Chains A and B, each alone.
Chain A
C-alpha cells in the first residue's frame, strides 16, 4: 500500500481518499505541502514537531498506513446478520438451561424477570458472542454458525447498539451537525440526504417538533429519544439493538419499534411495561440466571394489546389535562371499569 500512496501528491491523496484529511488534521504545514508527494511530506516533518505530537517518524508512518488500511476496511460490506441463536448453558445453581432459541432479523423479543435475575447478563452474552466463556456457559451463534471471533473487538462490526435509559446528549452541536457527524463516521456518501431523512423521521416519532438547527442538548426527553431511535435505525452499523425500556412520555413507541424492525434490526428489550412486552413477538422469562421459558405473544394477548393501548391513550389524555392546568373530574368509563 505504501508504494502506491507514497508517490501521490498530498492533494491527490485527499481527492482519492477524502477521509485521509482526518489523519492529517493534527499534522503541520498542510497548505504548503499539497503539491509534494506523501513520502516527501512525511520526510519533511521536523523532529521538534514529532516530539510535540508524541510520536516517532517510523511510528507515524506505520500509523498512517494502518489508518488507511482500517478506513478502507470500514467500507467493505459486512456479513448480513439474519439470525442469532442462544444455546443454553447453566443457571446460577448450575442447573442446565435447556434451550435453543433463534431470533430473526426484524423480530422484537422482550426480556422479563426480577431484579438480579440475569437479564443484563443475557444481553452481555449476546454482545460478547459467548462461547462457553461467560458465567452462564451459554453459546451464541450468528446465522446459525460460529462467527468470526474478531467481531468481539471490532468497532465497525459491533454486533450490538444500546439505547439506554439515559436520554442526554453531551455534544455541543445542532441536531443536523450531530447526525451528519455520525454519518461521516460511517463513511457514507449521501450525508445530507441521510441527515435530513433522519431528522424528519425523528420528528414523526416525537410529540413536539424540532428543527435541524436546534442544539441537541436542548431537546426534550421525548425528542432526544426519538432522535436516538431514528439515528440508530438508519446509522448504527449494529444489527442488534438492545433497549432498556422506552418511557412513554413524548414518543410514539409503537412506531419507534416499527422503524427499527423495518430496518431489519433484531430488537431485544428488557421491560416491565405490559404494552411494550406485548408489542414483542415473544418474551424470554429469566429466573435465577437462566431462561426459564419463552412465551410467544398469543392472539388473545395481541387483542389485549389493543385494549391496553387504548387505556394507555386515555391515561395520556388525563395526564394532558393535568399538564394544562385542568381538573380531573371525569374518568373515562373504560378506566372506571378496571377500577
Chain B
C-alpha cells in the first residue's frame, strides 16, 4: 500500500492535477483511491468517482481539518487496504496555515498555483516547507517570467523539494509526476509514524465552534494584539 499526502491552498488545483495524474497511473493498471479532507463541504468525491476512482470525504466541521486528518488517517489506510488499493492519496484543503498533514517517511506533496502571487511561497507554512514534491499549477495563465520567478520563490521556501509544473486542465506534466508517485514508500500501518511538524498544541474556544464575541468567551490559547 502506497500512501501520499497532498495539501495545498483552496482552489490551487489539487483535484484537477490529481485527476490527471491518477489517469496516467490507471493506464498502468494501478488502483488508486482518494480521500478528501475539507471543513464544511466539497464536491471533489464526485469528480473522482466520475473517473472511476474510489473516493471518500472527511468533513472536519468546526475542527481544524488537519487535526481531523491525523485522527482519521489510520482508518483511511485500513479502508484502502480493504478495497485492495495500490495507492491512497489524501487531498487536504490547506485551510490552516500552521498545520499540515505531512507525515515522516510518507511522500508529501504540496500543490500551489501561480496565481497566488510571488510572495505566497514565503507565507505558506509547513505544508509547503516540509513537502517532498511541490506541484505548481496554472502556469498557462501567467507569463514565462512570472513562472520562473514563482518557481524560484518556491525553491527558496523549500530548497530540497522536487518542484514540478503541472497544468490541471491539459494535464501537461501529470505523467511525469505520476512516475514520481510510483516511488512513494509503502505503508502497512501508521502506528508509530510521526507528523513532520507538530500541530499547534492548544486551540482557542473559537476553534471549537464558539461564535460569541467578548472577553468571557475567549478561552484556551488566546493571544492579544498590541495596538498601543
Contact = CB atoms under 8 A, between A and B. Distances in A.
Do chains A and B interact in one complex? yes
B142 A169 contact: yes
B179 interface: yes
Contacts, number: 110
Contacts of A171: 117-118, 146
Given A25-B122, A51-B200, A120 B159 contact: no
Contacts of B118: 171, 181
Interface stretch (B41-49, B69-77, B148-156): B148-156
Interface string B157-181: 0111011100000101101100100
Nearest to A161: B144
Contacts of A224: 143
Contact of A155 (B115, B117, B140, B155): B155
Interface stretch (B4-12, B32-40, B82-90, B124-132): B124-132
A70 interface: yes
A128 B115 CA distance: 24
B15 interface: no
Contacts of B117: 170-171
Q: Is the interface of A mostly helix, strand, loop or mixed?
A: helix
A133 interface: yes
A170 B97 contact: no
Contact of A231 (B144, B151, B198): B144
B142 A232 contact: no
Nearest to B180: A153
Contact of B145 (A152, A164, A182): A182
Nearest to A224: B143
A55 B130 contact: yes
A128 B148 contact: no
B149 to A, nearest CB: 5
B98 interface: yes
A148 interface: no
A156 B154 CA distance: 12
Given A54-B129, A128-B176, A236-B144, A155 B197 contact: no
Contact of A134 (B97, B154, B155, B175): B175
6 contacts: A54-B99, A54-B125, A66-B160, A71-B159, A166-B140, A170-B141
Interface of A: 22-23, 25-26, 51-56, 59, 63, 66-67, 69-71, 120, 124, 128, 133-134, 152-153, 155-156, 158, 161-164, 166, 168-171, 178-179, 181-182, 185, 224, 228, 231-232, 235-237
